[in-house]
Amino acid sequence: MTADDDYYSAQMAALGFVPPAQQIETPSRETLEAADRTSRFWSSRHDGELPLGSDAHRRETCRMFHETFNPYRPSVIDWPKLSPDMLKRITALPIWDIAVQTEGKARLRFATYAQTLDDPEMRGAILLNAWEENRHKEVLSKLVQAYGIPLAVEPPYQKPRDAEWSYLVTGFCECIDSFFAFGLFELAHRSGFFPAELVETFEPVVQEECRHILLFANWLAWRRANLPLWRRPFFELRIAAVWAVIAWERLVLARQMNKGDMATEQDSNFTMSSAQSVTAGDVGVLDLLKICLSENDRRFSGYDFRLARPTTVPALARLALFLAKPWSRAKSRKTADPSPSVPELRTEPQDR
């Protein structure tokens, strides 16, 4: 346990957070499956509409988060034995340092933001979110240990100076990363590039991130609706600034990755470039976007339709697909005409 782990634990305890009970006995397959189902499907018992920002909306959002909590997975891990080839492939993925550090930062940022909230229900939900981020960090740490993946020394995690700003940055980053993780995960599943047991092990982590961004989207709707009118323009400006900062960080990260220089100071744990790492084939950006969109719809489909969903990243993906339609059609025509005289056209940007 590092000093940062101690700091995070002390902060959670100071806020009165009681960690979920540890499951000592190994659960049966049926118990695990039932808990998994519970985490994916949830309907509110509230009759009628749930106007965004209302007390009922806030209460049901927090109830959703608690009632879909999965006490077993991903804490129950049976690391599958990997073939030397597979092990090499996993060790070579350029995500481990960033993934561990992203979870380390997220847990602290969520806990710090929760501290500023007067509403006990929302505070409790965001604290549970922080606890789950810490669980993700532990799962990743165990994975790298199990497969002997070397990790860079973790930098000290700073307590955010502006709790709401950090919460917004981390929340929107999770919306981007989770959207692409949904697609990449499906690609890994389809390609059989990783052993099925490993994909199965991480499936609950990916669904947990889906719950996290569902909570974030509903927190955002609640926060917006409850701000006094005069503060709303400033809040919207903040959100625009957060997106600008995230876009800038992603550009810097892409440049560093191009140079073969891994960034460790970013908020991202999944990138487009991972597409080629999880499949043997050449996956185009447009195909990846289509998979991400359908997986995004599938993963959210089990939760009460009256709750808000993250919309910005899926809308941008749909816009990109719409704008790329002429290129897609040109590509289809080119594929249909095998004439060698047709010049080689690259219709989709190539993933790194």
Q: Which residues bind Fe ion (CB under 5 A)?
A: 103, 133, 136, 174, 209, 212
Tell me which long-range contacts 225-233 makes (C-beta under 8 A, separation of at least 24).
225/52, 225/53, 225/54, 226/53
Distance in Å, CB of 212 to Fe ion, minimum: 4
CA dihedral 115, 118, 122, 126 (to 10 degrees): 0
Structure tokens at 215: 């909570």
Instruction: Pick the closer one to Fe ion by CB: 133 or 267.
Output: 133
d(CA 303, CA 19): 24
Smaller CB separation from Fe ion, 58 or 136: 136
Please, which residue, 274 or 279, has the CB nearer to Fe ion?
A: 274
Q: At closest approach, how far in Å is the CB of 48 from Fe ion?
A: 31
Provide the minimum distance between the beta carbon of 269 and Fe ion in the complex, in angstroms, as a whole number. 8
User: Taking the complex as a whole, how short is the minimal distance between the CB of residue 207 and Fe ion, in angstroms?
Assistant: 11
In whole angstroms, the minimum distance from the beta carbon of 338 to Fe ion comes to 46
| Residue 329: CB minimum distance to Fe ion, A | 38
User: In the complex with Fe ion, which residue's Cβ is closer, 58 or 105?
Assistant: 105
Distance CA 176, CA 173 (A): 5
CA–chain centroid gap for 27, Å, is 26
Nearest distance, CB of residue 99 and Fe ion, angstroms: 9
> How far, in Å, CA of 269 to CA of 326, rounded?
32
Q: Which CB, 82 or 213, lies closer to Fe ion?
A: 213
Distance of CA 197 to the CA centre of its chain: 20
Q: Which is nearer to Fe ion, 105 or 136 (CB)?
A: 136
DSSP sequence for 142-174: HHHHHTT---PPPPPPPPPSSHHHHHHHHHHHH
ω into 204 cis (within 30 of 0): no
Burial of 222: CB neighbours in 10 Å, binned 0-12, 13-18, 19+: buried
Judged by beta carbon, residue 176 or residue 188, the one nearer Fe ion is 176
Helices 55-67 and 120-146: crossing angle in degrees, nearest 10, is 30
